[in-house]
Amino acid sequence: MSTIKTVDHYLELKVPSKFRATFTALRDLIRESAPELKETLKWGAPCYIRTSNVVGIVSLKNYVALWFYQGALLADPKNKLIQASEKTTALRQLRFEQPEDIDAEYLTTLLEQAVENDRQGKKVKPRRKQKPMTMPIELQQILDHDAKIKSNFEKLSPSKQREYIEHVGEAKRATTRETRERRAKKAEQLLSEGKGLNDQYRGEGE
């Protein structure tokens, strides 16, 4: 199996003949519109970098895809950028089957934005993975005992619900029974009033 060493080699070995004109047109447009980007290969496909990955081209079964690595930051007046999946945070793509699909003016605008964002060091912040929360039995008993309190709890935002779960959950590990009871009592009182655990510190309306 041959190792892909250059973009020309990729074009020869990986791009079906029906997509070669499209691939070449995209490649030429990138090099003309964003000459400061360096053409290289990453993950076996063409990639154009400045200080970081900016854009890439990959030939797939049914189309040629153009990937913007920080595409979520781009202003997209024509709403053509595609988010491949819900798990994709930064990457956005465009798909082309033939050279006529390429809107050069629109694509040049996106490339200019992408280069400028890279120049400024702008990046999409990765999503923080939160550990799944286990409902403490003390809090669950409060919710099961009073329908109004349960309704008030369910109306809270996920972050405010999490505050209660963590607060009462930590009480399970407290050294004294009085501490556990005090925290559960506080939660019950605030929830009966439809309040979040830390609303008093946030200010009214938050």
pLDDT tens-digit readout, 49-65: 999 999 999 999 999 99
When mean pLDDT is compared across 30-39, 117-126, 168-177, the lowest value belongs to 168-177
Of 23, 18, 30, 29, residue with least CA distance to 8: 23
Q: pLDDT (tens digit, 9 = 90+) per residue, 71-83? A: 999 999 899 999 8
E strands in the chain = 38-42, 45-49, 53-59, 64-68, 92-96
- Whether the full predicted model's pTM is greater than 0.75, yes or no, is no
pLDDT of residue 181: 75
The answer to whether residues 96 and 21 touch, using CB atoms and an 8 Å cutoff, is no
